Structure 1
Amino acid sequence: MLATLTLLLGLPLALASEPPTCAPLVPITFDNTTIPRLLGQWFYIVGATRHPPYLPELRAVKFSAFSFSPGSHEDELNVTEFVRLNETCAVRNSSKIQVLENSTLVHVDENQVVSMARVIQSHEDLLILNHINIDSPSLSLSARTHNVSKEHMEEYKAHLHCLGLTEEDVYYTLIEDACPPPAEKTGEGDADPQVE
């Protein structure tokens, strides 16, 4: 009887400490309404991975903002990115995103596939990308503004947890590290941002 009572009293504590149930990541379905929602400016907020080839760039990215515009084909988007890698600001405008029917975005730079990702269902002002075709889970979060609500960040962190990623695998950007837009200069001796 005492053992049963101990078990029943301890059960609520054990249940309360269990991690939340993980639902599978659900990619959005691309159609005539979802693709136009991708257009415009996004701020890269955070990325997480254990994939060794991605780690040096994730550590170096201090700030990134990018915009999607219509490409020359209906299944293609042009990408312009303003990025600070450590202390260097650059504008990248040589890459494209190919939109595949299976909810996958393929990032192509100079005719070479750089990465592949599925867009995960979330709030329309968030862009959660589950990077695929690599040997380790990888998840990034971008948003329409650099300020992300606590609820949206918790949603992202729940996905990370379910993928087996921890806070040690996460790399954040800071708005304070933003590069000035190409038309702006902060002083007489400033050089133009690098264009790739």
Structure 2
Amino acid sequence: MTNNRSRRLLLAGQVMLATLTLLLGLPFALTAEPPSCTLPVPVTFSNATIPRILGHWNFIASVSRHPRYLEKIKIMKHSSFSYFPGSHEEELDATTIARVNETCVVKNTSGIQLFLHNSTLLHVDNESVSMAEVMQSNKDLLILKHFHDDFVGLSLSARTLNVSKEHLEEFKAYVHCLGFAEEEIFFTSEEDACPLPWEKTEEGDKEPKPE
């Protein structure tokens, strides 16, 4: 009986010692860890912010593990797009011009829904639902956080064909926050940008054709 009691007291003492050691070491562990990274917050849609996403954008970089995304980037060399006001107040239309393999393809999209209560873009294409949040960034950048099926992705677009090193490093930090490696980022090629319909094409360039 005495031995059992002694063992119980010894076990209780070991548990208390382990707990005390954990509690004493916790503040040091917390201070030793690097600060958690954070993504930019979504833009609040309003009459002032929605016009900022209208107009022409050049697709610079993106990341996702969605199977359809991975299939498309194998053959896409560059892409640009333009947002226009839709037929309804809370809708957008878009025109995308992409170089797929060696061909420039134009795609027109209508009925992109704007949800003001959570600042989300939504589009249904052949029963496939795509959603995106517009993240706060530089006025000449467009960062979208994509939600497609159970996959989350991030894309960076700009008014120009390239971005500064600082903005690119900032985007890479956001990608890291979402759990992606830098090697998973897809970058478009500035040299493969398609001529825009309103620009004069150089000799040898083919006009983009509708998809």
Q: Same fold (TM over 0.5)?
A: yes
Bigger mean CA deviation after superposition, 41-50 or 18-27 = 18-27
AA partner of residue 59 (structure 1): K
Change in Cα spacing, 1:82 to 1:26, as seen in structure 2 (3 Å) is: same
Gaps of 5+ in 1: 1-10
SS of the residue 2:180 aligns to = coil
Matching of residues 28-43 of structure 1 within 5 Å: 28-43=43-58
SS of the residue 2:151 aligns to = coil
Could you tell me which of 87, 99, 120 is aligned with 1:104?
120
Other-structure match for 1:44: 59
Residue identity (%): 55
CA offsets 1:26-72 (integer angstroms, 9 cap, x no match): 11111111101111111110011112221111232211111111111
Would you say the 8 A contact 2:42–2:135 is kept in 1? yes
Aligned alpha-carbon RMSD (Å): 2.3
Could you tell me which of 189, 197, 200 is aligned with 1:174?
189
Other-structure match for 2:135: 120
Change in Cα spacing, 1:167 to 1:19, as seen in structure 2 (3 Å) is: farther
Other-structure match for 1:146: 161
The count of residues paired between Structure 1 and Structure 2 equals 180
Runs of 4+ in 1 over 4 A off after TM superposition: 111-114
SS of the residue 1:21 aligns to = coil
1:137 shift after superposition? 2.8
1:112 shift after superposition? 4.5
Question: Structure 1 length normalisation: TM-score?
Answer: 0.81
Other-structure match for 1:91: 106
AA partner of residue 119 (structure 2): S
1:108 shift after superposition? 3.9
Bigger mean CA deviation after superposition, 24-33 or 40-49 = 24-33
Bigger mean CA deviation after superposition, 156-165 or 80-89 = 80-89
Could you tell me which of 63, 74, 78 is aligned with 1:59?
74
Change in Cα spacing, 1:116 to 1:177, as seen in structure 2 (3 Å) is: same
Bigger mean CA deviation after superposition, 52-61 or 83-92 = 52-61
CA offsets 1:103-152 (integer angstroms, 9 cap, x no match): 1111344x754521111111121111111143233110011112211221
- Structure with greater Cα Rg: 2
SS of the residue 1:139 aligns to = strand
1:97 shift after superposition? 2.0
Could you tell me which of 153, 159, 174 is aligned with 1:159?
174
1:100 shift after superposition? 0.9
Could you tell me which of 131, 146, 155 is aligned with 1:131?
146
SS of the residue 1:137 aligns to = strand
SS of the residue 1:93 aligns to = strand
AA partner of residue 161 (structure 2): H
Gaps of 5+ in 2: 1-27
Cα distance in 2 for residues equivalent to 1:48 and 1:191: 29
